[in-house]
């Protein structure tokens, strides 16, 4: 039995994970951790911080809180030898270093997206990248998301750039010479243009648009509900206790 504590348990993602992970055979959600008491506890205990939790009662901490919360979770998990799964994005270099240091003491899986379809779309994009002249990414999220561009789009852009580099393809030069409005062409991430959309009604969506002479290829993934992330988080929870060090993304866990 995997006993799980969810940090950020009062948030939309935390509540969705409590439902989804609690329904997985062999899992039990032991605690929801948040500065705010969750709307629903789903039979889990409520703790305002991990420091209130007996480390002997939990096997894996799942953190979908804030970058600052990830640093606290990393420290607590390293001190108590509890495995950690991180889905929070927008970490600074210093915060990422804290995660890397924790991974020298316990298993850590950190991913920008846990939807299986999104992970596969990154693979497909890496396959396509050497064969098209140009590529741009449009990522679309709900209007409560505080960081832009999304961690998923950053990961995807870097995967594409690496695939192009490995194939000897040069970074395409943006043909736009006159910017009537600064920023209209999006942001450059390792030579890949990324556009961010924030609208109510959305959850998490991404389009990868490739273009070449006379043809185009669009790879799109849609998360219509936060339950789409549960399967990937469950995969990470199963793997992290037996996987030492830091694992970035869940792609390697699908192999």
pLDDT, tens digit, for every residue of 110-124?
998 999 999 999 999
**Structural domain of residue 127, as residue ranges?**
116-223
Report DSSP state, residue 15: H
Q: For residues 222 and 238, give the distance between their C-alpha atoms in angstroms, rounded to a whole number.
A: 25
pLDDT band at 170 (very low <50, low <70, confident <90, very high): confident
pLDDT, tens digit, for every residue of 82-111?
999 999 988 999 999 999 999 999 999 999
- Residues serving a catalytic function are 141, 145
Q: Are residues 127 and 80 in the same domain?
A: no
pLDDT band at 20 (very low <50, low <70, confident <90, very high): very high
pLDDT band at 216 (very low <50, low <70, confident <90, very high): very high
Q: Are residues 154 and 189 in the same domain?
A: yes
Residue position matching structure tokens 């348990």: 9
Q: What percent of the chain has pLDDT over 70?
A: 100
Q: For residues 88 and 84, give the distance between their C-alpha atoms in angstroms, rounded to a whole number.
A: 12
Q: Are residues 231 and 218 in the same domain?
A: no
Q: For residues 88 and 114, give the distance between their C-alpha atoms in angstroms, rounded to a whole number.
A: 11
186 three-state secondary structure: coil
Q: Are residues 101 and 126 in the same domain?
A: no
- Half-sphere exposure (CA, 13 Å, Cβ side) for 145? 24
pLDDT band at 228 (very low <50, low <70, confident <90, very high): very high
- Please give the pLDDT value at position 220: 98
pLDDT band at 23 (very low <50, low <70, confident <90, very high): very high
Residue 192 predicted with pLDDT over 90: yes
Residue 252 predicted with pLDDT over 80: yes
- Please give the pLDDT value at position 175: 86
Q: Are residues 192 and 230 in the same domain?
A: no
How many structural domains does the chain have? 2
Q: Are residues 211 and 230 in the same domain?
A: no
CA-to-CA separations, 97 to 22, 37, 92, 186, 210, in angstroms, rounded? 31, 30, 9, 28, 34
Calculate mean pLDDT across residues 236-249: 94
Q: Are residues 198 and 159 in the same domain?
A: yes
Q: Are residues 90 and 41 in the same domain?
A: yes
- Please give the pLDDT value at position 173: 83
Calculate mean pLDDT across residues 28-54: 95
Report DSSP state, residue 171: P
Q: Are residues 104 and 181 in the same domain?
A: no
- Please give the pLDDT value at position 213: 95
Q: Are residues 155 and 69 in the same domain?
A: no
The enclosing H or E element of 61 equals strand 60-63
- Please give the pLDDT value at position 133: 92
- Please give the pLDDT value at position 46: 97
Q: Are residues 68 and 89 in the same domain?
A: yes
pLDDT band at 172 (very low <50, low <70, confident <90, very high): confident
- Please give the pLDDT value at position 90: 86
Residue 255 predicted with pLDDT over 90: no
* CA 145 to centroid of chain Cα atoms: 13
- Please give the pLDDT value at position 171: 82
Calculate mean pLDDT across residues 46-55: 96
Q: Which CATH number fits the domain that encloses residue 182?
A: 3.30.360.10
pTM of the model: 0.84
- Please give the pLDDT value at position 72: 97
Q: Which CATH number fits the domain that encloses residue 8?
A: 3.40.50.720
Bridge partners (DSSP) listed for residue 63: 7, 86
Q: Are residues 150 and 83 in the same domain?
A: no
């Amino acid at each position: 039995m995997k006993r799980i504590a969810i940090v950020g348990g009062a948030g939309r993602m935390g509540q969705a994970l409590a439902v989804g992970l609690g329904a997985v055979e062999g899992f039990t959600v032991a605690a929801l951790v948040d500065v705010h008491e969750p709307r629903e506890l789903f039979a889990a205990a409520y703790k305002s911080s991990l420091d209130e939790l007996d480390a002997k009662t939990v096997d894996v901490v799942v953190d979908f809180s804030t970058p600052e919360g990830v640093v606290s979770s990393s420290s607590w998990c390293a001190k108590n030898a509890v495995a950690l799964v991180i889905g929070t994005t927008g970490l600074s270099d210093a915060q990422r270093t804290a995660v890397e240091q924790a991974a020298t003491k316990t298993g850590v899986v950190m991913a920008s997206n846990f939807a299986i379809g999104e992970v596969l779309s990154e693979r497909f994009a890496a396959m396509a990248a050497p064969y098209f002249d140009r590529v741009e990414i449009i990522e679309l999220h709900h209007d409560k998301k505080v960081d832009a561009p999304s961690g998923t789009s950053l990961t995807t852009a870097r995967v594409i750039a690496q695939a192009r580099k490995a194939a000897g393809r040069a970074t395409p030069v943006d043909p736009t010479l006159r910017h009537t409005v600064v920023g209209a062409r999006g942001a450059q991430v390792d030579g890949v243009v990324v556009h961010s959309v924030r609208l109510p009604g959305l959850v998490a969506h991404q389009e990868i648009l490739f273009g070449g002479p006379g043809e185009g290829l669009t790879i799109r993934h849609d998360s219509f509900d936060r339950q789409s992330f549960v399967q990937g988080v469950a995969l990470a929870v199963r793997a992290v206790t037996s996987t030492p060090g830091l694992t970035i993304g869940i792609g390697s866990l699908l192999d």
